[in-house]
Structure 1
Amino acid sequence: MARVFIDGEVGTTGLQIRQRLAGRSDIDLISLSDDRRKDISARLEACIAADVAILCLPDDAAREVVKAVQGHDVRLIDASTAHRIAEGWVFGFAELTPDQRRTIAAADRVSNPGCYSTGAIALLRPLVDAGLVAPDAAVSINAVSGYSGGGKAMIAEFEADTAPPLFVYGTDQHHKHLPEIMQHGGLSRRPVFSPSVGNFAQGMIVQIPMAVGPGDIARLRSALADRYADAQFVEVADGPAPKRLDPTELNGTNLMRLHVGGDDDLRTAVLYAQLDNLGKGASGAAVQALNLMLGQPEETGLTTR
């Protein structure tokens, strides 16, 4: 059995990773008692004892652990923002390129994608690669997420019914997901990003509006379908986007569904990505990467329904 340690297992992402790994006969989960979870020595000892350690920590704490375990034979999956564009780290979006699964499988350092960036990159990268979106295009990204992605303080605010029904944030255009969207989405020009949080716990929709020419909507849909034809966890809807899209529709799964809506005659289109921000957007993606690193079937412990 592979020994796995989740550093930060009582946080939102860590808890959901643990749930997905519970009961697996191929994994021996290393766990610390409540009184040792904040003991850095105990945590580092557990990391070093593991075959793979999954870091569900704030950025600075993740960097501290990575530095401390250098020279030890432990592979890492970092769920923080700290290493998503760092040299020597493999981006953990398995569907990024046709070779990404093999790259993750061989990696010692994997950075888990962010939830918003998972949807944005899934939509953009195939279109940039196909020449349908220029790397320096003026891209706008709008998104709404469930409040579970905001951490304990935001969860408490919504559960106490003191938060508004929906709010927009990141208005200074310095959202932490933007660097990884640019690098892994194939963009050379910084996109405009407007994220928001709604009064629902889990779920997400990422939207990218764009101007199109005659026949472009079919080309966009075809490029996405071609890229993800063999993907288990990314599905491209055939035909126009439905009149309503529910951000919670895929909750509890590791599936991401992509849609292309719009009208050629009006020369406008909108790309949509639906996903569970705690599934394919966080914990599910980490387990998917772990499966690849351990040589297990990619879908082990995960579901699309």
Structure 2
Amino acid sequence: MSAKVFIDGEVGTTGLQIRDRLVNREDITLISLPEDRRKDAAARADAFAQADVAILCLPDDASREAAVICETLPTRLIDASTAHRINPNWVYGFPELAAGQRAAIAGAKLVSNPGCYSTCAIALLRPLTDAGLISSDADLSIFGISGYTGGGKAMIAEYEKGETTGNFIYATPQHHKHMPEVMHYGKVAKSPIFVPSVGQYAQGMIVQIPLHTSRAVELHAALTAHYAGSQFVNVRPLDQAQARENPQAFNTTNQLELAVLGDAADGRVVLSAILDNLGKGASGAAVQNLNIMLGLDDAAGL
């Protein structure tokens, strides 16, 4: 028997990508609303009531409103917005975060899908803070570049119409919406300096964290041990660490690759993470979480 899934906000960038991954699956039945009823409160409430799982691809406030609508329903939720990512009543949807996280997602009614930059940063930080190789009060800087699809439909339109060109840095006031979850799940007490940027290409992301340390071998060992056996997260061998970094290397996949770069002998190391911002950084992660919640293979549809 197929599971019924409603994507609330299916015409947005993330929603469309999720739909593409689910539409041809025999184990999923999609509930969809006609265009003229997508913002109709009664129609949405009925769709929620029919669904086994609803995926919220909405702005934060709309996601909070949808969660309230579903409070009295048995419908399980995956929220792709920022609204609930550090809410203790919601399970964080990064199955590889720590021991027991996948099981928590499997049994959860409420799952908050991680952000793309957050997935990269937390994937690097959490194993190392847990191992004591990065202190919780460390002064950290995080640098990243994403394809313009990370900016949503408006930015995609600007680039595809040629209204915006080139690369640019943003969020310089240091109030980026992903930092609360990076700190919370990365187990760091001091807010990192975060310098994100947008590249003149559609999708793909790289995030890097520089460290003054000579413990590259220990860092690599901790990351390797943490993700041993992972289906979607791999750690590049140290002897391949100086390969060219390509933010588009894992486009159209749900893969996340981590690496330890730099010159450990000189005390300068760079932690690096690469994923598809529309894959493991958003829609692919949501589908993986959906699979886990339904007791299916993590990789179904991915």
For the superposition of Structure 1 and Structure 2, which TM-score range results when normalised by the shorter chain?
over 0.9
Matches within 5 A, 1:116-155: 116-155=117-156
CA-CA distance at 1:266 after TM superposition: 1.1
CA-CA distance at 1:279 after TM superposition: 0.1
Distance in structure 2 (CA, Å) of the matches to 1:180 and 1:68: 25
Cα displacement string for residues 5-47 of structure 1 (whole angstroms, at most 9, x for unaligned residues): 0001111000110111121111111011111112122112101
The SS at the match of 1:285 is helix
CA-CA distance at 1:55 after TM superposition: 0.1
Distance in structure 1 (CA, Å) of the matches to 2:184 and 2:107: 21
User: Root-mean-square deviation (CA), in Å?
Assistant: 0.9
Q: Determine the structure 2 residue equivalent to 1:269.
A: 269
Matched, 1:285 2:285: yes
CA-CA distance at 1:167 after TM superposition: 0.4
Matches within 5 A, 1:68-83: 68-83=69-84
CA-CA distance at 1:162 after TM superposition: 2.1
Distance in structure 1 (CA, Å) of the matches to 2:242 and 2:200: 22
Matched, 1:65 2:66: yes
Letter in 2 for 1:223: A
Matched, 1:110 2:143: no
Cα displacement string for residues 166-209 of structure 1 (whole angstroms, at most 9, x for unaligned residues): 00000010000000000011111111101000011100000000
What is the aligned-residue identity percentage? 59
Distance in structure 2 (CA, Å) of the matches to 1:256 and 1:243: 16
Distance in structure 2 (CA, Å) of the matches to 1:24 and 1:164: 38
Distance in structure 2 (CA, Å) of the matches to 1:87 and 1:265: 42
Distance in structure 2 (CA, Å) of the matches to 1:44 and 1:113: 25
Normalization by structure 1: what TM-score? 0.97
Letter in 2 for 1:101: R
CA-CA distance at 1:248 after TM superposition: 0.8
* Unaligned 5+ runs, structure 1: none
Distance in structure 1 (CA, Å) of the matches to 2:102 and 2:70: 25
Matched, 1:221 2:233: no
Q: Determine the structure 2 residue equivalent to 1:31.
A: 32
Cα displacement string for residues 35-79 of structure 1 (whole angstroms, at most 9, x for unaligned residues): 111212211210121000000000000001101121111000000
CA-CA distance at 1:222 after TM superposition: 0.6
The SS at the match of 1:41 is helix
Distance in structure 2 (CA, Å) of the matches to 1:267 and 1:242: 16
Distance in structure 1 (CA, Å) of the matches to 2:237 and 2:24: 36
CA-CA distance at 1:271 after TM superposition: 0.5
Distance in structure 1 (CA, Å) of the matches to 2:53 and 2:38: 18
Q: Determine the structure 1 residue equivalent to 2:164.
A: 163
Give the length in aligned residue pairs.
Answer: 300
